[in-house]
Structure 1
Amino acid sequence: MEYKMSEVLYQKIREDLKAKITQGFYSQGSKLPSETKLQAYYQVSRVTLRNAVDGLVKEGFIERVQGKGSFIRKPHKVNRLIRESSVESFTKVAHANGLEPSFEILKIDQVNCPKQFQGKIGKSIMLYIQRLCKVDGDPIMWENNYYVLPRFEQLSNYNLEGSIYSILQKHFGIKNLYSDDTTLSMSPSNLKNSKILNRTIGFPLFKLETIVRDENKDIVHAGIHYIVSDRYQFKI
């Protein structure tokens, strides 16, 4: 019980500090008050305070400089231009913003087609590839893609810690990809995606649902992606 209370407390402190940063109370480039002052202000232990600050360091709001202290920084956002029917890989978008992407494979399996896509794909078995997409080590997108079988059955044999679209073009003969029936909405983070994306419960996420087709209008995959709003923005 004591551990859970401490965990909830540092999350509240993290959110309060984050609000002060985003609202300009602590300006970009300024130095965060010392641990002693923050401990006194929040009336918490050093461990609890450090856990809160560590979370903001991971999210890119605070930067620690050895021997000098902690400073407020503005996270570099990934900008993605939304054009009609456009499809761009996470790798391409990150590189276009001067950032280095990386990927963590969370799950590969064969599953039933999600209900929201069955109207176009049917109740078929699909290759499910779940990845965590990162920028400079910070989780940005929880990617859930469902590939059509048996066409892409061998996709799981390739190295998927990079651009999957490049693999599709190089090894599966796909020339062009375009999106169909794409929906972008906001979704508060729940317990599951909070743990995956390293954000607090209730944190605002983009939810992107789409169906991707090839140049012959054949479905390649369906996707459900959860994207952090503090490091990613869409331009229409």
Structure 2
Amino acid sequence: MAKKKATESLYFIIQEDLKSKIRLGELKEGDRIMSESEICEHYNVSRITARRTLNNLANEGYIKRIPGRGSFVNYYALEMHTKKYYSLAEETVHWGMRPRSEYITQTFTLVKDLPEAEQIMEQLRITENDELYYVKRVRLSNDTPVAVDCTYVPTASLTEDERAKFAENQAAHVYSIDAKMRGALNRVSETFTAVALSTEDASCLNVAAGTPALRIDRITYARDSILEYNVRLRLTYRCDYSIAYKGIEPRELSI
């Protein structure tokens, strides 16, 4: 038992050491990482411990393993500035990457037929018999999955023209909502929660079930009316958030 615990401790120490090097940029995206034999020699551990370290780093998305070539860093972090309204696509372009979406579901449906019906009713202040336009998509940066988005738009806020466009075009809701927001957006509220990915969502992101993620619940308002409710599951090792506060009075500070 003691030997097993010692092995698990070594595995954890090595894994966290390599993660730290990746997060700090000592090992950058595309860099080759140590092989099993090199880890054995460098850390003086068994082949089993080295293999377990690399397998876990791969499962969590930090590295990708290519047969016959080795293991390579698969990590980068987008720095999200939350001092203003932000768009994931715009932030991705800002950091020199290519944004793309893969649509899983897009449909008109009743609230009661959705998995998180109670949460949706509470956030949008509607009933289970109200209709929504529901979109679920995978967000990618440089063709690497980074987030799963679920967007809920109350159809009561849509014009007939918008409704027709949503039914015809996968991306129509993005451009329509974006156009409204540019002219009428006046506030956004967000809630951040640490979660473990379900089997379904983990599969969308090509990671193991239970992988840590950041859940972001966002409600967008246009002229103080709710425009949409969005739930984003973001891989925590693919994004850094920077929050800036302005105009804080001394009396507001606490230790």
TM-score (norm 1): 0.70
Which of 198, 204, 218 is matched with 2:212 structurally?
204
Hey, what's the Cα distance between the residues in 2 that align with 1:52 and 1:224?
30
Query: What is the deviation of 1:174?
Result: 5.7
Alignment-derived partner of residue 97 in structure 1 = 95
Query: What SS class does the counterpart of residue 185 from structure 1 fall into?
Result: strand
- Cα distance in 2 between the residues matched to 1:186 and 1:173: 28
**Alignment match, 1:115:** 118
Structure 2: gaps (5+ residues): 1-10, 41-45, 112-116, 244-255
The change in CA–CA distance for 1:200 and 1:235 in structure 2 (over 3 A counts) is same
- Tell whether 2:232 aligns with 1:225: yes
Contact 1:57 1:63 in 2 (8 A): no
2:87 equivalent to 1:82 = no
Q: Would the alpha carbon gap of residues 232 and 176 (structure 1) be closer, same or farther in structure 2, given more than 3 Å must change?
A: farther
The structure 2 residue matched to 1:153, chosen from 141, 163, 179, is 163
Question: Residues 176-226 of structure 1, C-alpha deviation per residue, up to 9 Å, x if partnerless?
Answer: 435543211110122222111122222210001121122x22222111111
Aligned mates of 1:43, 1:63 — CA distance in 2: 16
2:219, 2:228 within 8 Å by CA — same for their partners in 1? yes
Q: How many residues align?
A: 208
Larger helix proportion, structure 1 or 2? 2
Q: Which runs of 5+ in 1 are unaligned?
A: 1-13
Matched with 1:42 is: 48
The alpha-carbon deviation at position 121 of structure 1 amounts to 2.7
Q: Is 1:22 equivalent to 2:19 in the alignment?
A: yes
Deviation at 1:19, TM superposition (A): 4.1
Cα drift, residue 227 of structure 1: 0.5
Residue number in structure 2 paired with 1:59: 61
CA distance in 1, matches of 2:14, 2:101: 29
Q: Is it true that 1:168 corresponds to 2:168 in the alignment?
A: no
- Aligned-CA RMSD value: 3.7
Corresponding position of 2:248 = none
Partner of 1:175: helix, strand, or coil? Answer: helix
Identity of aligned residues (%): 10
Q: 2:146 aligns with which of 117, 140, 143?
A: 140
Specify the structure having the higher radius of gyration (Cα).
Answer: 2
Q: Give the distance between the partners of 2:184 and 2:154, measured in 1 at CA.
A: 16
Q: Normalising by structure 2, report the TM-score.
A: 0.66
